[in-house]
Structures are given as C-alpha cells and as structure tokens.
Structure 1
C-alpha cells in the first residue's frame, strides 16, 4: 500500500496530494508546522507540540483549523492509514488560499491543513547515534522570530546543505556575539569541563524545542546539573561531550565540530544515557 496524505479534509495517495497555487504557505511561507516523533504508533511529547502549535498560530494570527481533539483524531488516522509504528508525522497549517498579496486577506479564509507520515528505521537511527555526528558552524542569518515554528526555512536549508557538502550531519548557527544559537533543525548542548550540561536559554532567538523541554525534565530527574547558558564553538570543541536534540534526532551525540574532535571523539556516556532515558520517557508518555 502506498503512502497516504491528509489535505484539507481528505485522505488520498501521497503521490497525488496537492495544494492550490495561491496557498499562502506555498507563495509566502505564511504557515507553521509541527513534527511529532512516533513510538509504537503513538505521538511523543504530544502536549508540548500541541502547545507550541497553538502559540505559533497565535503569533501569526492564523485561526486554529480544528479543535485539538479533532486534530488528534486526524493525526492518529494518518498514522493508521500509513501503518506507521515508528517514525515521524508532519503537520503544516497555512493561512489558506487567497489572491497573492503580502497583507492578510480580508474576511475569513479557511486555513489549509496538510499532514503526512513516514516510517523510520529505529535500528539505523540507534547505529547512527552510537557513532555520533560531526557539525559545522555558520553565521546566524535568520529572521528575528525563530521562536515561531514557521515554514520559512531557507537559511536552515542552505546551512544544512553546506553541512552535507562538508560531510557533517548538522550546522550550528553562531550569532554576532560568537555564541551558538541552535542548529538548522535542532537545539545544541554540551557537557562542559566542570560536568555541567549547558544549552542556550529560550529567551534568545531560538526555537522552544519540545524535545529540549522534555530532556530538561529528564535531566532533573537523573540528578544531573544543568544550566541554560550559551556557549561558543570553542567551548563546544573543548567540552567533554556534546549533542543535539529534536523530534527527528531525539538526543544525538556530536563528536566533532568544524573538524575538531570533541572529548575523545566518540559518543559520550552522558549523551548516550540521556538518549536512552529520553526514549524511555517518550514511549511511556506517548498518546
């Protein structure tokens, strides 16, 4: 059976799914999105993703297209129709279809909703995590509202492509003060020489990562010391360990930055432990 997509109230073949040419998400990036990890056919970190979705829609003044209860039913149905037990589910909501104009359309416009799902090979993901990834740094050049999860991701796309061309798994943005903000699609962390876990605070221009938030709870329960405090690329290079977090990467060890090994150049024990603890929590709380 081929993949199934949900588009504006209808389920249909993924290969035939489409939106109107004047959908504002397509033409103006006037849209938001969320991505849930899926464990055992259930949505991980559901509460955090629904809350962030609501906030993003509110910041862009896009009406909620349906209740949370209805949206949950549709998300689960997309998973069921695609037979996805382990993977990711993607939701995008745009302001809708209207004649192209930069200002909001006048009158009510129904938001457009797209949902897709794909399966992941968890064994392959674990093998990747066991080895760790390398990262590169790139100057921060994104807009000033990265706290809103919009589909306007061109700087992220270019940064990730540069990382791929250099054989790296992620690109980390560095601001004008020389501090790492976050990755192209993940939050960044280090275990500093004093044994303190550090990640940038969300008062800065970064996305309020849902995986990041859950991991902070996991870290607290594990009795580890953590500080929401920024760090430089040099500090990451000199750290005991480093890792990134996100719905797709979960907790993924970083072993090299800009060609320099971090720690002993292997996936560190703290990062590996936190990955295991996070996955255990995600499975237990998925809905």
Structure 2
C-alpha cells in the first residue's frame, strides 16, 4: 500500500489568530496592525532591501542559523547594515515571537536602505538603514487537499528570470517584476504556478520556490540563477539519509518534462508536490512516493526537535 501524505491540518487561515501578530520596528515590539514604514523608505521606493523568512515550530525556530547566514550574507553583498550582529538578530526575533505567544509562526525580517535623503540618489549617502521584522501565525502554503492534488505548473517562456549578473539571486531580494509577469501568464492559462527559465534556457525557479525534479533515480535542483533555498537543502539532507541521491546542477525544460516526480520547496510548506506540468501529468499525476517520503520525514523530524532552537533559550 502506498504511503499517504501526512500533512498538519490545524495550520489554516480559520485557525490562525492574527490578533497576536506583532512587529519589531524602530527598537520596539508593537502590534502588527500599528507598524508603519515611511512612504519614502528606499525599500518601498526602489526595492533597495533584503529580507529572509524563518518559521517556528512548536515554540522553536527551524534552522535559524541557516536563515541568519543567508540574511547577513545578503546584507553584506548589498551593503546594508541591520544595526546589530548575529546575536542581536537572534534576540530581536526571539523577543518578537515571545511577545506574540504563538508556537507556530512565520517570522519575516528585513533591512532597507532607510528613508531617502533629500537631494540625492547616491546609495552611499543613505546611512540610516532600517531593520524591521514581523511575526504572524504559520498558515501552510498548501492545505492538505491542495497538497494531495498537487500544483499545476507552467514553464513561462519569453519572461526569463532576472540575470544573475544584474541581480545576484543569492542575495534575497524583492525584485519580483519577472515573477509577477510570469504568474499572470500562468494564471491566465489556468495553471497554478509559473516556472521561469534563466537567460540561457535552463530551468531557474518559481516565485518564492525552488524546483526539484526526481529523474534517473535521483533528485536534481537548478544550481544557477536561483536563491539557495534552505528548504531545498533540508529536503536534500533528508534524501541523503533515506538513501536517495540528490544534487544541484543544470536542469533543462525537456529533462523536467520527463521527471517521474517534481516538487517545489519553500519555508511556508517544506515542499509542495507538482503533479502537472504544461498541461501534462508529472509521473502518474499525483504526489509520488519519493515526494511523500520526504514530506512525511520532514514533519517527523521537526516534531522530534531536529534543527529546532527553542525560542526560550534565546535571551
């Protein structure tokens, strides 16, 4: 008998208490609905910012240090200063989660270039950078029935992912113009999600997701023109423990088209099965056995405390 997907059923919009959502802004923790960013903040005006998203699970951060690694590398690459070091970031995020009292959350944290200085567009002259963070209830991107159905994806050709030589995808950014254009094309075609190609024609990524294919007996995820996803790395680590080969490499559209299974990875869901691509079934058109094993192992491990940092240990 095939293994069934074991997906939490309580992390829904209906069960989420957004009255407990909070924000860390200008040195204070405030209710999220009261948090405000100036309209001349350069993150808003020019997408001059970086961010990351970590989640908590049963009162503990999942892979916090990996997300801090990426955030600090992005800040360094973009010459942004969050105004504190790694330990300060840990304390700010932990204080925010404690203030909410929520056990399962999404924690978004960002650094912008700050408020525009009158009379100049020189980024070097904008030195009052702004750090902020928000905590909201964790609502799974992909409820049980959606996960069992899987996503219907479309490779959107003619709208390539922004070239890595222009915007380094390793620095998490909000340059989503290409993603949004492609998403409208996919939705207009009756599909759920857009997959973008790199300028060289290789598969890149989806909006907020890494794409992973299972073909020729192993997993492969694109290694260029993509954000190095923490969730993708998580699935590869689990795959290794289960004896499933996994690698990063060049993935062409025709290879993805013949995959036995495929899934997307993201913080808000772990993984999300892809069951149709360009109008055709992926494999048997349902979440496959490898996808199912990975997702079930992911939740089993988190429930056992794997890579969890309890919020209460950070002071």
TM-score normalised per structure 1:
0.90
* Alignment correspondent of 2:297: 277
Work out whether 1:83 is the aligned partner of 2:94. no
Q: Is the contact made by 1:5 and 1:17 (CA closer than 8 Å) also made in structure 2?
A: yes
**Structure 1 residues 165 and 119: alpha-carbon distance in aligned structure 2, compared to 1, 3 A threshold:** farther
How far apart, in 2, do the equivalents of 1:154 and 1:219 lie? 33
Deviations 1:113-167 (A, max 9, x none): 1211221345963443222111111231424212210122222233334434444
Closer/same/farther in 2, CA of residues 167 and 250 from structure 1, 3 Å limit: farther
**Displacement of 1:185 after TM fit?**
0.9
1:20 aligns with 2:38: yes
**CA contact 1:200–1:230 (8 Å) conserved in 2:** yes
State the partner residue of 2:198: 175
244-253 or 275-284, which deviates more: 275-284
CA distance in 1, matches of 2:195, 2:76: 28
TM-score by length of 2: 0.82
Q: CA RMSD in A?
A: 2.1
Q: Which residue of the partner structure matches residue 182 of structure 2?
A: 159
Contact 2:263–2:271 (CA under 8 A) maintained in structure 1? yes
Give yes or no for contact 1:236–1:262 (8 Å, CA) kept in 2. no
Q: Structure 2, unaligned stretches of length 5 or more?
A: 1-18, 310-315
SS of the residue aligned with 2:37?
Answer: coil
> Which runs of 5 or more residues in structure 1 are unaligned?
none
Which of 203, 210, 221 aligns to 1:199? It is 221
Paired residue total: 283
Q: 1:212 to 1:122 in 2, by over 3 A?
A: closer
Which runs of structure 1 show a deviation greater than 6 angstroms over 4 or more consecutive aligned residues? none
d(CA) in 1 for partners of 2:214, 2:107: 31
Verify: 1:146 aligned to 2:166, yes or no: no
Work out which of the residue numbers 190, 209, 213 in structure 2 matches 1:186.
209
- 1:256 maps to 276
SS in 2 for 1:178: coil
